Chain A
Amino acid sequence: MTSAAQTAGPSADLTMKEKGALVERLFSLLSLLALFIPLVLLAVLFGDALRDALPRLDWNFLTGYPSRRPASAGILPALVGSAYLMLLTALMAIPLGVGAAIYLEEYARPNRLTQLIEINISNLAGVPSIIYGLLGLELFVRGFGLGRSLIAGAATLALLLLPMVIMASREALRTVPLSLREAGYALGADQWEVIRRVVLPMCLPGILTGIILSVARAIGETAPLITIGALTYVAFLPDSLKSPFTALPIQIFNWVSRPQAGFHVNASAGIVVLLALMLLLNGLAIFLRIRLQRRTS
């Protein structure tokens, strides 16, 4: 970046130049502050939550059931519910999302239909998550008669994730050079053989990174699950796909909305667990990305 002295021009009068340089410095400082204040604020808030949470974070908290007494309440049903949700959501969103991405990148011809699909995907990415909740409520919970179950929640989250998975997978597919595909065809392979044995193995880490980031996002989603009617007080573990369930963010929401201070401590402990899970998933994604970069460079 050019410095103030270079840009002010030689003819500028000295005091003007100094004044300009000062204003410029102040502005740089101001814009730097604009960048850091929110980050510092967030760090302070995290620190505060962590401090509140520490006394509460023990084995009993992780393996306990909800309770009317804040000090003996735990998050096991919420943790198990979130794990099942993540698994089921991924099982639905990954094949559908990667399939759609392969279609758009490898098979689709540039016609009206393809254009329509692309417009739809970018629009869906901007729909508020609570609207997906309304769709899930009417379609899965009532329409398909799945009730307020794990599978209805996972299906709703899968629809919410699809645009993200599709976009990330398409970007990964685009990184595979055309020449590799052509080499495959030259060896007499079919299109699907080329995709399955050349393209997909090449971009798998990229696709995985995108999927993990999307799933990390999904475990923090609260609004659509509340809308489809996830329970806020669950004293049992889900035992089937049609079992009622709760999830970590729902449990946190439940605790936050109670007036007693003890439950707010529980909420902060739940938040620490939720953020730790997300951090773990994001770390995994970064690790995969670094491995990918090393292999392709």
Chain B
Amino acid sequence: MRRGFQPLERELHGARHPFERVIGAVLLVCGLLSIGTTIGIVGVLLFETAAFFRSVPISSFLGDSQWTPLFEDKHFGIWPLVAGTFLTTVIALAVAVPFGLLAAIYLSEIATMRARRILKPILEVLAGVPTVVYGYFALSFVTPLLQRVVPGLAGFNALSPGIVMGIMILPVIASLSEDAIFAVPASFREGAYALGGGKLPTIFRVVLPSAFSGIAAAVILGISRAVGETMIVAIAAGQQPRLTLDPRVPIETMTAYIVQVSLGDTPTGTIEYQTIFAVGTALFTMTLLLNLASFRLRQRVLKGGTH
């Protein structure tokens, strides 16, 4: 948006040439497509989910502890899928938060400007690798490796894809945290140094607390990415919905379930077809809430950033 000069310009040209108006309208339609996409997503999810809840009571969706829509004895309790998603997400965070935060501290507080300029894009490479590739790594390298150290680790498990997912979301957390840490005014650090604080106390007691909102926003966005991540868990975590917090056994996440059903040829209108939209709605709601929370926190950082 360019404020200021535009109204004058419009007065001069817009009225004179109808062609200008046509172009403006065409471009507006392109812009409106984003609203259309959102309406499409919400509409499609709600439509099929409503159909799902006509045959499955909401009480069994939220109250049953088994998820077996593809079996003869059908149960529709979402919790095993939620537990799978929760478990892989927590493991991913256990990797991504410490590594990502330390990397962010290194980039903004320790590295030289030149090193920072080179290292930051290299770190971004981690986020650009296709997830199907990460899935392959989890299944054929990380799992066999972990099986040597972790007793009782099954070929499909939550641990290995969780760790690999952590590496994937690490740049998201590192990059956004680094922005937040970098935005802490130099005067804060100088004040701490002037009071006789060393470098580490300055980082941990002044810089990090000041950047807290931004770091929290980064971590929340990382959670959102982990919850929505699909291929790594579809490949390496197995396809057995199970209400457990044991990272060694096969589980299934919400996203992996959608993949599992999509791989078969499920006819429209069947309850199996509707389940993926019901699960999709749950997934969409979770990521939307997380994204909004992260966005709010970042807005607060931007507002508070004018020191």
Give chain A's interface residues, CB within 8 Å of chain B: 1-2, 4, 7-9, 11-12, 20, 23-24, 27-28, 30-35, 37-39, 41-42, 45, 48-49, 95-97, 99-100, 102-110, 114, 116-117, 120-124, 126-135, 137-139, 142, 159, 162-163, 166, 178, 182, 185, 190-192, 216-217, 220-223, 226-229, 232, 249, 252-253, 256-257, 264, 267-268, 271, 274-275, 278, 282
Q: How far is the CA of A144 from the CA of B140 in the complex (A)?
A: 40
Contact B30–A130 (Cβ < 8 Å)? no
Q: Is the CB of B30 within 8 A of A41?
A: no
Assembled-state Cα–Cα distance A115/B166 (Å): 34
Given contacts A9-B196, A182-B5, contact A223 B167 (CB under 8 A): no
Verify if B149 is at the interface (C-beta below 8 Å from A). no
What are 5 inter-chain pairs, A to B, with CB distance below 8 A?
A: A7-B197, A35-B123, A103-B28, A253-B231, A274-B133
Contact of A222 (CB < 8 Å), options: B123, B130, B197, B283: B130
A50 CB to nearest B CB, Å: 12
Please give 18 more A-B residue pairs, beta carbons under 8 A apart, in addition to A100-B34, A220-B130: A7-B199, A7-B202, A28-B110, A30-B102, A49-B136, A106-B2, A110-B1, A117-B34, A126-B221, A128-B283, A131-B45, A134-B258, A191-B13, A222-B131, A228-B262, A232-B263, A249-B231, A253-B135
Of B103, B167, B224, B234, which is within 8 A of A42 by CB? Answer: B167
Chain B 73-114: CB-based contact to A (< 8 A → 1; otherwise 0) = 000000000000000000000000011111101110111100
Chain B residues within 8 Å of A229, by CB: 262, 265
Q: Are A135 and B40 in contact (CB under 8 A)?
A: yes
Shortest Cβ gap from A270 to chain B (Å): 9
Residues of B within 8 A of A102 (CB): 27, 30
Q: Which residues of A contact B10 (CB under 8 A)?
A: 191
> B137: which A residues are within 8 A, CB to CB?
45, 49
Give CA–CA (A105, B47) in the complex, Å.
Answer: 35
For residue A93, give the distance in angstroms from its CB to the closest CB of chain B: 10
Residues on B with C-beta less than 8 A from A249 are: 130, 132, 231
B44 within 8 Å of A (CB atoms): yes
Residues of B within 8 A of A (CB): 1-3, 5-6, 9-10, 12-14, 17, 19-20, 23-24, 26-35, 37-38, 40-41, 44-45, 47-48, 98-103, 105-107, 109-112, 119, 122-123, 125-126, 128-133, 135-137, 139-141, 167, 170, 174, 193, 196-200, 202, 221, 224, 227-231, 234-235, 255, 258-259, 262-263, 265, 268, 276-277, 280, 283-284, 287-288, 291-292, 295
A252 to B24, CA, bound (A): 44
Q: How far is the CA of A130 from the CA of B295 in the complex (A)?
A: 21
Contact (Cβ within 8 A) B33 A104: no
Report the minimum CB–CB distance from A169 to chain B (whole Å): 11
Are B34 and A45 in touch, CB under 8 angstroms? no
Question: Which of these, A30, A124, A128, A190, contacts B34 with CB under 8 Å?
Answer: A124
Complex interface: chain B residues within 8 A of A127 (CB): 41, 228, 284, 287-288
B107 CB contact (under 8 Å) in A35, A134, A142: A35
Closest residue of A by beta carbon distance from B139: A256
CA distance A278 to B135 in the complex (A): 17
Least CB distance from B271 to A in Å reads 16
Of residues B10, B27, B133, B137, which shows the largest number of chain A Cβ atoms within 10 Å of its Cβ?
B133
A107 to chain B, nearest CB (A): 5
Contacting residues, chain B, for A96 (C-beta < 8 A): 30, 33
Closest B residue by C-beta to A122: B295
Question: Which residues of chain B are near A116, meaning CB under 8 Å?
Answer: 35
Once the chains bind, are A192 and B20 in contact (CB under 8 Å)? yes
Measured in the bound complex, the distance between the Cα atoms of B14 and A105 in whole Å is 17
Contact A38 B131, beta carbon cutoff 8 Å: no
- By the criterion CB–CB under 8 Å, are B196 and A134 in contact? no
Q: Closest residue of chain A to B171, judged by CB?
A: A38
Are A38 and B40 in contact, CB atoms less than 8 angstroms apart?
no
> Which B residues lie within 8 Å of A109 (CB)?
1, 6
A223 to B229, CA, bound (A): 9
* Contact pick for B283, options A42, A131, A216, CB 8 Å: A131
**B259 engages A226 (CB within 8 Å):** yes
Assuming the contacts A222-B130, A278-B128, asked whether A135 and B41 have C-beta atoms less than 8 A apart, the reply is yes
User: Does the CB pair A35–B139 fall under 8 Å?
Assistant: no
Q: Are B258 and A124 in contact (CB under 8 A)?
A: no
- Contact call B135/A223, Cβ cutoff below 8 A: no
A175–chain B nearest beta-carbon distance, Å: 14
**A38 lies within 8 A of B130 (CB):** no
Pairwise interchain contact B230-A1, C-beta atoms closer than 8 A:
no
> Does A129 lie within 8 Å of B132, measured CB to CB?
no
Chain B's closest residue to A98 (CB) is B30
Closest Cβ of chain B to A32, distance in Å, is 6
CB distance from A200 to the nearest CB of B (A): 12
- Tell me, rounded to whole Å, the shortest Cβ–Cβ distance linking A34 to chain B: 3
What 10 A-B pairs come out closest when comparing CB atoms? A128-B228, A220-B130, A99-B30, A34-B102, A103-B27, A31-B106, A223-B230, A126-B291, A100-B30, A31-B102
User: Cα distance A178–B224 when bound, in Å?
Assistant: 38
A130 to B47 alpha-carbon distance, docked (Å): 17
Contact A48 B40 (CB under 8 A): no
Bound together, the chains give a CA A267 to CA B235 distance in angstroms of 12
- Complex contact B99–A34 (CB within 8 A): yes
A131 B129 Cβ-Cβ under 8 A? no
Shortest C-beta distance, A141 to chain B (Å), equals: 9
- In the complex, what's the smallest C-beta–C-beta distance from B139 to chain A, in angstroms? 6
- CB-CB under 8 A for A123 and B291, given A130-B230, A191-B13, A257-B235: yes
Contacts of B37 in A (CB 8 A): 120, 124, 135, 159, 162
